[in-house]
Amino acid sequence: MEIMLENLFPILTQQIHGKKLVYLDNAATTQKPVAVIEALNNAYTSWNANVHRGVHYLSQVATRHHEEARQKVADFLGAKSSDEIIFTKGTTDSINMLAFSFGERFVHEGDEIIVSYLEHHSNIVPWQMLCERKKAILRVIPLRDDLSVDIEAFESLLSTKTRLISIAHVSNVLGIINPIRQIIQIAHRHNVPVSIDAAQSVPHIPVNVQELDCDFLSFSAHKMYGPTGIGVLYGKQELLNQMVPYQGGGEMINHVRFEQTTYNTLPYKFEAGTPDFVGSYGLAAAIDFINQTGRDKIARYEEELTTYMEQQLAAIDDVVVYAAGQPKAGAVSFNVGNIHPFDIGTLLDQQGIAVRTGHHCAEPLIDYLHIPGTVRASVAVYNNKSDIDLFISALKKSISMLS
C-alpha cells in the first residue's frame, strides 16, 4: 500500500543541504497539508473576530467555527458531548490543567498518583509538582525486560490511596503501544480514574474515548497535521464538573462580583481568556484531512512503514533497536554501537534526513536504559518506503564515516 500525499505538503518538496528532504521527525511535530495552511489563512483573511462576546457578524462566524471545531473533536474522539472537550495549548497544557484542577479537588496528603517509566516529562513533572504541593506520593510502574509496562507490578501499586493513573498511550521514545484498555479496566476495578497521554497515539491510530472508557485524554494538534499552540483535554463530564478551574479570567465566569464570583459551565469553566479560535479551525481542518485519508488506512500504512524501517535497521551490524519486535505506532528508537546518537543525527542531517536524537524529554526512561540517548526516526502518513530506503542508506554511510 502506498499513500501518495507528499505533494499535499508544500514543505516536503524542498531540498536540504542539496538533498531531498526526508522528514522523519514526526513524533516531534508533523508537517501541515495545504488544507490546514489555507484554513489558517482563510481565518485571518475572511472572518477573524473575537468569539462568544460579539453580536456583530464576524464574531458570530468566528464563534460558529470555534464551536463546530469543538464538535468535530468530540466526534473524532467519540466523546459523549462537546462539553467534554476543553481547548488547551497542547498536551503539556492539558496535563498541567488536569494535575491542578483534579489535584485541588481530589488529591490530599498521603494520596498516590501512578505514572510509568515510559512517560514524557509532560506526564511526570506536573504530577511531581502536584505531589509536592499536596504532600502526595508519585508511584512509578516499572518495565519488563522487553520494555513493556509491567501489568502485574502496576496492579500491585494500586491501593486505596491511589487517586489517578496517568499513562502514555504510545511511548514517544520507543513507539510501543501500551495496553491501556487493560490498564483502564484494572484501574476501574479499583475505582481509580485514568488519564491517557495520547500525544503519540491520536495522530497514528484510531482512539475512541468511550470505547476505551478513559476518564481523561490529552493531545496536541501540531503532532497530527494541525497548527501549533492548540490541543485538547478530554474529560468525563461528571469528573470535570467536580474539578476547580485552572485559570481565572474572562470566559470562565458566570458573574463576577467583588464579594463572590461564580463560574461558567463546561467547557468554558476551563477556558479563561480569548481561546485560540484560529487554531481550533486549523485543528478541524487537520481532523478533516485525517478522516478523508482514513484513520484505519493511516494506521495500517504506518504500521507497514515502521515494521519495514525496524527490519531494515535491525539488519545493520551493531544497530540496537529498542523494544524490537513489539507493535509500534510511528516511532522507532535505536543506537549504533558506541557512536553517540548526536553524531549520527548530524551526519544524517547533512544528507537531508531529519531525525531526532537525545533523551526525547523522557530522561527517566533513558536513565533506565543506561544510555546517553537514542536516535529516533518517526513516520507520518506522507512518508513512504523510498524515504526509509534513503534514510537507511544515509545511515549506513554515516556509520562507515564514524567507524
Residues that bind ligand PLP (CB under 6 A): 90-92, 120, 122-123, 168, 172, 197, 199-200, 220
Cβ nearer to ligand PLP, comparing 91 with 148? 91
Task: Report d(CA 254, CA 231) in Å as an integer.
Answer: 24
Q: Beta strand 162-168 with 194-197: parallel, antiparallel or unpaired?
A: parallel
For ligand PLP, the closer of residues 29 and 350 by Cβ is 29
The sign of the dihedral angle between the CA atoms of 216, 166, 296, 32 is positive
Q: Which is nearer to ligand PLP, 33 or 175 (CB)?
A: 175
Considering beta carbons, is residue 36 or 392 the nearer one to ligand PLP? 36
| Dist. CA 166–CA 135, nearest whole Å | 18
Q: What are phi and psi of 378, to 5 degrees?
A: -135, 135
Intra-chain end-to-end CA distance of the chain, in Å: 36
Q: Among this protein's residues, is 131 annotated catalytic? A: no
Q: State the nearest-atom distance from the C-beta of 220 to ligand PLP, in Å.
A: 3
**217: Cα separation from own chain's centroid:** 10
Q: Give the whole-angstrom CA distance, residue 235 versus residue 219.
A: 12
Closest alpha carbon to 118 in 363, 375, 379, 376? 363
Residue 235 beta carbon to ligand PLP: minimum distance, rounded to whole angstroms? 17
Strand pairing class (319-321; 162-168)? unpaired
> Grid coordinates in use for 274?
480569548
Q: φ and ψ at 357, to 5 degrees? A: -130, 155
Residue 149 DSSP label: B
Smallest separation, CB 154 to ligand PLP (Å): 18
Which residues have a Cβ under 8 Å from the Cβ of 295 and sit 6 or more positions away?
205, 206
Q: Which is nearer to ligand PLP, 178 or 384 (CB)?
A: 178
Least distance (Å) between residue 366 CB and ligand PLP = 14
Rg (CA), the chain: 22
**At closest approach, how far in Å is the CB of 61 from ligand PLP?**
28
Looking at beta carbons only, is 25 or 111 nearer to ligand PLP?
Answer: 25
CB of 63 to ligand PLP, least distance (A): 26
Torsion of CA 397, 306, 114, 356, to 10 degrees: 30
Q: Answer whether 220's CB lies under 8 Å from 233's CB.
A: no
Q: Which entry of 361, 362, 379, 390 is annotated as an active-site residue?
A: 361
* Catalytic positions, written as ranges: 361
